[in-house]
Every structure is written in structure tokens, then in C-alpha cells.
Structure 1
Amino acid sequence: MTAKPPPLRNTLREGLAVPRVLLNPLRLPKRGVDIGHGRAAVVIPGLTTGDISTSLLRRTLRARGFQPEGWRQGINLGADPAKLHVLETRIAQLHQQTHQKVVLIGWSLGGLYARVLAHRLPEHVDMVVTVASPFSGDRHANRAWKLYEAINDHTVDNPPFSEPLSDKPPIPTLAVWSATDGIVAPECSRGEQGESDVTLQIDAPHFTLCTSRRCIEQILAKMAEMEAAPA
């Protein structure tokens, strides 16, 4: 797959979405049909963000019948084996407590965590949703790789885990991508055929995809559609 970082004009537009991220804790969810049925959902934030950035998404998940929680590990600064281990333990606990497999939703870098965790814990994970996550193709086809390498002790091509990110986890996998993403190349978050079970195009800025009620509604609708489909 040949991909280049998003056009600079798209990247500059991302700044308009930042206030939405910061105001997330004050925003109320849209209520609707129960699709969670008591399942736990772990939501993993993107690079240089924390659980505040996913608060509206988690509130909406709760309003739809899930038992959601953030990753509870501060700011996500990169692939970290210790943080992966904490999540592995927590996911197994949630499965035991709820008697249902856990849904993983990862935004950007958080989606890479989610895919690795799904490879490691397929017996505990029900579904993986990646939102604008560069799991496929060239790791340099995004606007954040230089920052990532500046704050980590490894390169984007040599993360501290052995699981190939482009290999589809052995559970239902949804990849959400945007043709107008200003951070991650669309080809990298959409992936190639066979790298996810389902893809969902939502043309919105990178920082809007998990902070817009409209985008969140589309993601939840697709999740419900996947679960309703015949096996």
C-alpha cells in the first residue's frame, strides 16, 4: 500500500476540533436503544491524550447499555509493554465480573493497543473497533510519527510488541476511517482487504471522530449492525 501523510490543509483544520476534545467532560450523551446489554467496554485514547478525550464516547456507551471505562493510565505517550500488561489483566477481570466478553475501542494510537490486546486475549474480547488508527501500511504516513519517535525509545517501525498490527485479530473487527483525516492517511486506518472484517467511512477530522455525537452515532450503529448480522 502506497500512502502519504494527509494534505497540510487537512492537518490545519484539525485545530478547529481541539476545543471539542477539551469540552468533552461537559457534554451530555444522546440516548438510544440498549446495544451493550451489560457488556464492559474499554476505550483507549490516542497519542498525547487521556481519558478526558474519550469521555463523551464513554458516556454514550453507558447510555446504550455498556459498562464503559477508560484505560486509566494517564496520557498515552506510546506503545508501552507495562501498560499493555495492565490492560490485559483488567480485560480478563472485566470478563470474569460481567460474564461477557469485553468490547475494545481504540482511537488512533489506542486502536493499535486494541488490536494487540485482541491478538493476545481472544478468549476475553468480543469486538475490536479502531477509529482512525494507523494499523496498516507505512508507519510514516501520518503527521505524528516524528513526535512519537521524539518521546519514545523506539521507532514507529519497531514497536515493543511482536504482534503484526496489520494482521486481523481472530474476532470481529471494525475499522473506522476518514478521507479528510488530517493526522493519519486514510489508507492506513482503512487497511487492505482482509485486515478488518468491516470498514466504516466517516469523513470528519481526526479529532472529531470520537468527539462528535454524529460520528459516535454512526460508529455505534455499525457495531450494532455487525452484531445483528448472521454468523
Structure 2
Amino acid sequence: MNQNSAAGFTAAAPPSIGLFGIEPWRALYEYVGMRLMDQDKMPPGDGHPVVMFPGLASDRHALMPLRKCCESLGYTVYDWEQGFNTGPPAAIEPWLGALADHVRSIARRHGGRRASLLGWSLGGVYAREVAKLAPRCTRHVITLGTPFAGTGRENNVAWIYRLLNGERPMIDEALAARLRTNPPVPTTSIYSRTDGIVAWQACLLEEADQAENVEVDGSHVGLGWNAAVLRIVADRLAQREGAWQRWSGAGAAGHGCPS
């Protein structure tokens, strides 16, 4: 696993058509790998809540393997409760506010325990922004293949956004600066240099005391069930609140996800 900094980021080209074309096959290979990972051990969870945010043109079903893994480790997992992700609405601020209120309600339901926010692709952008709005209710943010450091042009699926919304995603300089700003809580960006959907450079955060980039080998579509991703997520979620440490790459003994 390699770690990098987003300092000096400049717009990157979308992944090659070759990588984009083989995404489904690589994702299938990763799914098989997940099903065979019964020998891998993971640290048990402490039961704190985890809220999951799906990617563009997907819903909670796309993250079901990851959800089942987290639940098997002992976490209480919640959906973002917005159904199919068609992209943010025009009135984005009140919408993000509602997402933050959802996280606050979950924290209250758990006696004030902070929730970890886990987002895939575009869902990771939501998770980061919600953490900025509700930092006292957020324990950790983990993003999977999330292009928060880009301009909206470093991907191969802008056509899906146009299909769902009738226009291409537009990110001006002010919004780009906002999205690049790290949440004020421990934050992990998991990315792949062989991502066939978004440019990996757009997934790099500015590393700091509580912010890290962790690289895996995998497709974009398969990040939600990639065996390496599941191990990293399990390790990150198991970090004690107030005692966060960077990913070391070393596995921890404990319970494993069911195959």
C-alpha cells in the first residue's frame, strides 16, 4: 500500500478506455476473491454506528457486501436513506443539512456515540461534507474511489450524470476548494491507480495528522467488495476513538468476514 499527498494537484485525464472496458470483469474477479477470503482475520468492532453512502447511479444494494462485512464484525450499519443516488439537487445546502441531521439522529439513537461515515465514489463526497457539518457526531470518514480533489472532468461517467440530471457536473473554483478541504475528523481515502472510472489523482487528499491516503489494487466498481478494501475498512473502523493511527498495512487478528 502506498500513501501520497494531493499537494499541487492539477487536472488529470480520465482513466483509459481499456481500463474502463474491463471494469466489470475485474469487479467479478474481486467478488470471487472476497468469497474466498475466509482465512483472512479482521479486528472485531465495538458496535458503534456506521453510515454508508452509495455511489452515483446506485443505492444501498451496491454496498451490501461491505455492509454485511461490517455487520459481521459487530458494527451497527445504516443506509443514507436517500434511495437511488442521482447526484446532488440544485438546492444542495439544505439537502446536505438533511443528511447531517440523519447522522445526528443516529448518534442520539446510540446514546451520543459518534458514527463513522463510509462513502463509495460520489457518496464519499457526501460523507466528507456531512462530516464537516456534523463533526461532533462523526468519528471517522472513509471514502472509496472518491474524486473530491478534481474538477468533475476526471472520470468516464459524466454521461451518466447528464442522463440522470440533464446536465454535466460543474465544479467551480470555490466549490473545488471546498471539496478538497479535509473534514475535521480522522479521514481515510482508499483509491486505486487502476481505477477505470475516476482518475486516481482526484482521490488524493492533503495528508495531515488525521488524514491519510491508502492505495489498493482494484477496479472502481469492485471497491465495495475488494478483499484488501474490506481489510483496511475493518482496521480503520477498529481504531479507538481519540487514538487514531495511520494504516500500517499490518493485519490484525480477530474475526473474519463470512465467505
How big is the shift at 1:139? 1.7
- Between the aligned partners of 2:55 and 2:218, the Cα distance in structure 1 is 16
Match of 1:33 in 2: 43
- Between the aligned partners of 2:210 and 2:119, the Cα distance in structure 1 is 14
- Between the aligned partners of 2:210 and 2:82, the Cα distance in structure 1 is 27
Identity over aligned pairs, percent:
27
Structure 1 residues 207 and 66: CA distance shift in structure 2, 3 A = same
- Between the aligned partners of 1:76 and 1:172, the Cα distance in structure 2 is 25
Q: Which shows bigger deviation, 47-56 or 217-226?
A: 217-226
Q: CA RMSD in A?
A: 3.1
Matches within 5 A, 1:81-230: 81=92, 83-99=95-111, 100-152=113-165, 155-158=168-171, 164-194=178-208, 197-224=211-238, 229=244
- Between the aligned partners of 2:208 and 2:221, the Cα distance in structure 1 is 27
How big is the shift at 1:209? 1.1
Aligned partners of 2:197 and 2:220 also within 8 Å: yes
Q: SS at 2:202's partner residue?
A: helix
- Between the aligned partners of 1:42 and 1:29, the Cα distance in structure 2 is 24
- Between the aligned partners of 2:44 and 2:57, the Cα distance in structure 1 is 32
Could you list the runs of 5+ residues in structure 2 that have no partner in the other structure? 1-8, 247-259
Match of 2:3 in 1: none
How big is the shift at 1:5? 0.3
Aligned partners of 1:22 and 1:53 also within 8 Å: no
Task: Give me the TM-score of the superposition, normalised by structure 2.
Answer: 0.76
Aligned partners of 1:136 and 1:192 also within 8 Å: no
Aligned partners of 2:86 and 2:164 also within 8 Å: yes
Partner letter of residue 102 of structure 2?
R
Deviations 1:173-218 (A, max 9, x none): 1000101000010100123445971111001000111123342123
- Between the aligned partners of 2:191 and 2:240, the Cα distance in structure 1 is 17
Structure 1 residues 204 and 22: CA distance shift in structure 2, 3 A = closer
Could you list the runs of 5+ residues in structure 1 that have no partner in the other structure? none
Aligned partners of 2:190 and 2:229 also within 8 Å: no
Structure 1 residues 79 and 197: CA distance shift in structure 2, 3 A = same
Structure 1 residues 127 and 154: CA distance shift in structure 2, 3 A = farther
Match of 1:62 in 2: 71
- Between the aligned partners of 1:10 and 1:150, the Cα distance in structure 2 is 22
Aligned partners of 2:216 and 2:228 also within 8 Å: no
Structure 1 residues 132 and 122: CA distance shift in structure 2, 3 A = same
- Between the aligned partners of 1:229 and 1:21, the Cα distance in structure 2 is 29
Aligned partners of 1:22 and 1:52 also within 8 Å: no
Q: Does 1:49 align with 2:58?
A: yes
Aligned partners of 1:168 and 1:195 also within 8 Å: no
Alignment coverage as a number of residue pairs = 226
Q: Does 1:78 align with 2:91?
A: no
Which structure is larger by alpha-carbon Rg, 1 or 2? 2
Aligned partners of 2:53 and 2:120 also within 8 Å: yes
- Between the aligned partners of 1:90 and 1:84, the Cα distance in structure 2 is 10
Aligned partners of 2:30 and 2:227 also within 8 Å: no
Aligned partners of 1:105 and 1:111 also within 8 Å: yes
Q: Which has the higher contact order (CA 8 A, sep 6+)?
A: 2
